[in-house]
Structure 1
Amino acid sequence: MLMLQGHDTESLNKLLAVQAPPLPQWQSFIFPAVASTMAAPFSNPFGVAKTQAQLIQGKGGGILGFFRLAISTDPKIIQRGLFPVMMRETSQNLFRIGAYQPIMDCVHNCPENSSPPAWKRMVAGGISGALGFFICNPFEIVRTKVQAQPIAALGGTGIAATPTVGPYRIAQNILETGGTKGFFRAGGASVALGVVCTSVNLTSYTLLHEHALEKGYQDTPAVDMTCALISGFVSALAMNPIDVVRTRLFAGSAQGGMFQVAYQIFKTEGPSAFMKGFVPSFLRIGPHFVLTFAFLEQMRRMAKDHNLQRAREAWILGIFKSMDQDGNGEIDEQELQSALQAADPSRDSATAKKIARDVFVVADYDKSGSIDLDEFTHAACTQKLDHIIQEQQRVALFRSLDTDGNGFITEDELLEGIAHKFQGSDERTLQQDMRRILQQADTNNDGKISFEELCAVFDSLEDLQDSRLLRNRAHIAGVPAL
């Protein structure tokens, strides 16, 4: 595969109408799992503080009191339960964030409106959140039981110090006493928490992120982190009441169903009890979301750049092969001249020959009388082959759509090309796409598009959806031999 390191890839990006293909499905699932797991060690100390605070009935020592006591007793306490926390983050966000976009695509199958409304985002987030929180429930139970083990004097309990029971032993106890069902204790509360957390979190984050970009802010980690922090605060407010109930169910300090425990808390401790642990909860969720989305967006950017570079490489290689008629890995002047005349039938042989000679002056670096792939790539990256590349794009696009080779793109051929690009789209949407393209390109209204008509609108398609459709169609079809 042709490599572009050392070349001006930014200029090539402007030159080629090649867009990065969407992230593979596996990356959409794996990236959130990895990003959130990487953030876990930074936010876990506040998770321990939150769990301890939510279990105290009455007034506790506060978050500063917890950290003072934990550090004076055993500094390792602040990272208590880190392993099940990391396992929870991996399993949870594999689906909580990973499944969000696929579910959104099903909920919002509407190409005419690229930005889904808030209620659809909340529906998609609620479904993916319920799935993610239910799947991670075994790790969350173990995490809670590990972190809930008392620390000396915290909350006035006077129970002595550092836990002696680790996550593996706790998991064994759960299995021995309750079987596999024991790992899904309070599953209803987990699902409810997942629905609230994810619907609020991803809806607010995506809306804030899109709004920032619309206002002219650059797509940078600073924007990611700011949006994530605001989203974390809103999410912490929304989920804290359910989290208090679930924590007590997990730890075994309350008995009954989710609503029964909630009623007991309200009756004995008052409504303010549902906001216990909010400060450490936000101090965990806020930085955790900030780091998770910062890591996640950066991973996505790196993957997009990599995929875009590979798309450019494949595209320019296809252009080169289409001009290399004898397949010897080099383009001579005669082959270049033939390609120029095929791209523009109105161009006479003398003009094509002159252009070919001018190209060889700038592209044939070793003066061998032919242009190899490296020379062609370098010249393309420095925009010395701008007009030739653009002409070959038009030829490639037209030939990929003109499937019967009669020199015209008919309605059926255009519809087939659109359907191939957007597999799974409904027929009504495909028909609308086809009519919009025909309306702009078919200037003589004969119901078909000639090569000249396509060239006239190739660079002036104003509708982004149409432009992306045509250009991606050419890229997918490849460049047929001239």
Structure 2
Amino acid sequence: MGDKKGKMPAWVNFVIGGSSGMLAICVVQPADLMKTRMQLLGPERKSLVAVAGDILRTEGAGGFYKGLTAALFRQATYTTGRMGCFNSVSDYYKTNYGTPSFATKVGIGVVSGAVGAYVGTPAEVALIRMTADGRLPPEKRRNYRNVFNALARIVREEGLFTLWRGAGATVTRAMVVNGSQLAVYAQAREMLLTHMGEGISLHFVSSMISGLATSLASLPVDIVKTRVQNAEKGTSQLKVLTNVIRNEGVLTLWSGFIPTYCKIGPHTVLTFIFLEQLNKLYYTYVQNE
């Protein structure tokens, strides 16, 4: 993220990356919650409108933001890690080797995603459980008060390592997501720049293209990850995958595509817009010192 004003310190990349994700998730949390509910339906089939109607009827408007504290904590860990790593490594690469190729961008994104995902897995487990709680019968709900209550109860009731249940699936998904999202965004932005010029429109279109590619690539591993983490007992990714295909059909792996795209697209747009604005604030502060 260096420019003529001076190279941004690595730690600032992490802080700005995480802050951007946290601001963006406040807007798209309802879509993320509906995506999770649709992925846990199993053989049952419901439309996005039907799922939203169920939430409104049984939980009220506030139901769309159930698990928000976990979502924010996830962004504070996962997105801080992935965005900070990606931007810091990209800056290092540009300084020492020049502009990275598309393949190099993918590689940096994959590694950054893996690092961020492993750090963020406990928050991911809490988020999945909190957003899924409302669809369970009252007697089976966990009723976590917030993300910290969820983490404490998971450790106390199920053991410390349960916080990393599905870590393999989470890391796999993150590698796919970041390898596609960050690399496709950067490539689309680069190709469209001469036609559209710098500005919000360029960021928006590039982000929506990136979101489409990311949604298609990541949904199968996302569904497997969601079910592994919501399971009462530990299970493997392969077992979940084969059960889904055998019992529900291969197209189930893309269940919840619309809310996923509605979340990933705008989340990417907002994250990068917030990122640019926070970068400007940082450099304005540095210049005024």
Please, what TM-score do these two structures have when normalized by structure 1?
0.55
Spell out the pairing of 1:237-386 with structure 2 (5 A cutoff).
Answer: 237-252=216-231, 256-307=235-286, 309=287
**Residues 85, 162 of structure 1: alpha-carbon distance in 2 compared, 3 angstrom cutoff:** farther
User: How big is each residue's C-alpha offset from its partner over 1:407-435, in whole Å with a ceiling of 9 and x where there is no partner?
Assistant: xxxxxxxxxxxxxxxxxxxxxxxxxxxxx
Q: 2:71 aligns with which of 74, 85, 89?
A: 85
Aligned to 2:102: 118
SS of 2:133's equivalent in the other structure is coil
SS of 2:135's equivalent in the other structure is coil
| TM superposition shift of 1:219 | 2.3
Kindly report the root-mean-square deviation, in angstroms, between the aligned alpha carbons of the 2 structures. Answer: 2.4
CA contact under 8 A between 1:225 and 1:293: conserved in structure 2? Answer: no
**Residues 225, 253 of structure 1: alpha-carbon distance in 2 compared, 3 angstrom cutoff:** farther
| Counterpart-to-counterpart distance in 1, 2:33 and 2:250 | 23
Work out whether 1:54 is the aligned partner of 2:48.
no
CA contact under 8 A between 2:93 and 2:99: conserved in structure 1? Answer: no
| Counterpart-to-counterpart distance in 1, 2:140 and 2:77 | 28
**Residues 234, 69 of structure 1: alpha-carbon distance in 2 compared, 3 angstrom cutoff:** same
**Residues 229, 254 of structure 1: alpha-carbon distance in 2 compared, 3 angstrom cutoff:** farther
| TM superposition shift of 1:68 | 1.3
| Counterpart-to-counterpart distance in 2, 1:305 and 1:219 | 20
**Residues 233, 253 of structure 1: alpha-carbon distance in 2 compared, 3 angstrom cutoff:** farther
Aligned to 1:193: 173
Work out whether 1:98 is the aligned partner of 2:98.
no
| TM superposition shift of 1:284 | 1.3
**Residues 257, 161 of structure 1: alpha-carbon distance in 2 compared, 3 angstrom cutoff:** closer
Aligned length: 284
Work out whether 1:135 is the aligned partner of 2:116.
no
CA contact under 8 A between 1:48 and 1:79: conserved in structure 2? Answer: yes
| Counterpart-to-counterpart distance in 1, 2:95 and 2:279 | 23
Output the amino acid matched with 1:97. Answer: M
Give the percent of matched residue pairs that are identical in Structure 1 and Structure 2. Answer: 23
Q: 2:55 aligns with which of 48, 63, 70?
A: 70
CA contact under 8 A between 2:117 and 2:171: conserved in structure 1? Answer: yes
Work out whether 1:173 is the aligned partner of 2:158.
no
Work out whether 1:147 is the aligned partner of 2:131.
yes
CA contact under 8 A between 2:23 and 2:271: conserved in structure 1? Answer: yes
Aligned to 1:38: 23
Bigger RCO of structures 1 and 2 (CA < 8 A, at least 6 apart): 2
CA contact under 8 A between 1:125 and 1:195: conserved in structure 2? Answer: yes
SS of 1:99's equivalent in the other structure is helix
| Counterpart-to-counterpart distance in 1, 2:199 and 2:139 | 45
| Counterpart-to-counterpart distance in 1, 2:268 and 2:4 | 29
Structure 1 gaps, min length 5? 1-17, 153-158, 314-482
CA contact under 8 A between 1:255 and 1:261: conserved in structure 2? Answer: no
CA contact under 8 A between 2:219 and 2:257: conserved in structure 1? Answer: yes
Greater percentage in helix? 2
Work out whether 1:206 is the aligned partner of 2:186.
yes
**Residues 173, 302 of structure 1: alpha-carbon distance in 2 compared, 3 angstrom cutoff:** closer
Spell out the pairing of 1:389-408 with structure 2 (5 A cutoff).
Answer: none
Rg (Cα) greater in structure? 1
| TM superposition shift of 1:31 | 0.8
Spell out the pairing of 1:420-431 with structure 2 (5 A cutoff).
Answer: none
